[in-house]
Amino acid sequence: MDKKLQKKVVLTGPYEDVVQENNHLYIVHKLDTICVIPYTISTEGILDKVGVIKEPDIVKEKELYTLISGYVNQDDPTNLVAANRILFELIGSNVKGADNWMYLGTLSNISGGNIILWAANISDTDVNSSEEVEEVKEARKFKMVRSNEIVSSDDALFLAAYLRLFNYFYVNSLKV
């Protein structure tokens, strides 16, 4: 016997809706998500550190390294502008110059929208250390960690983005 699917919007917000379908709840994203991986390179040209935030995993009751993320706003003319805005909100500095940005691709999100991945080389960027910026970093638990520590993350999206970034450095090292 086929049961007819019954969808009902339980909660609506500016960025996503919570939808109930039969006995299951789903988050449906209304806007594309931007994820940013700030990184530094060593003097040898090797991927050195990667910027992460820690977020609570309420299911496993621990904190996980994850990507810096936000949404593309209507005021953002491009998703690169959105990526720079999201990173600026965290580090208090603009990453200028197209050579410092790398598009890592787009991933499909099963709950609607896309996840657009950007990496930003902040090796030569003066990260703002004002009190206001430091408070934001502390609140979001932002830090730069050695690139080899990233593989300990349980966040599949973060690992996928990191592997794309790592692949870029690996392929370029073969060309030397």
Domain count, the chain: 2
My answer on whether 11 and 61 are in the same domain is no
pTM summary value: 0.80
153 in the same domain as 106: yes
Compute the chain's Rg from CA coordinates. Answer: 18
Boundaries of domain holding 58: 31-174
**CATH number of 91's domain:** 3.90.79.10
User: Is residue 80 located within the same domain as residue 113?
Assistant: yes
- The per-residue DSSP string of the chain comes to -PPPP-EEEEEE-SSEEEEEETTEEEEEESS-EEEEEEEEE-TTS-EEEEEEEEEEETTTTEEEEE-EEEE--TT-SSHHHHHHHHHHHHHSS---SGGGEEEEEEEE-TTSSEEEEEEEE-TT------HHHHHHHHHHTEEEEEGGGGGG---HHHHHHHHHHHHHHHHHHHT-
Residues 56 and 16 in one domain: no
85, 153: one domain: yes
pLDDT 10s digit of each residue in the chain, 176 long?
445 667 788 888 887 888 888 888 878 877 788 999 999 998 888 889 999 888 887 777 888 788 899 988 888 899 999 999 999 988 888 898 889 999 999 887 666 678 899 999 999 888 877 788 888 888 888 889 898 888 777 778 888 888 899 888 888 777 76
- Do 114 and 95 belong to one domain? yes
Chain length of the chain: 176
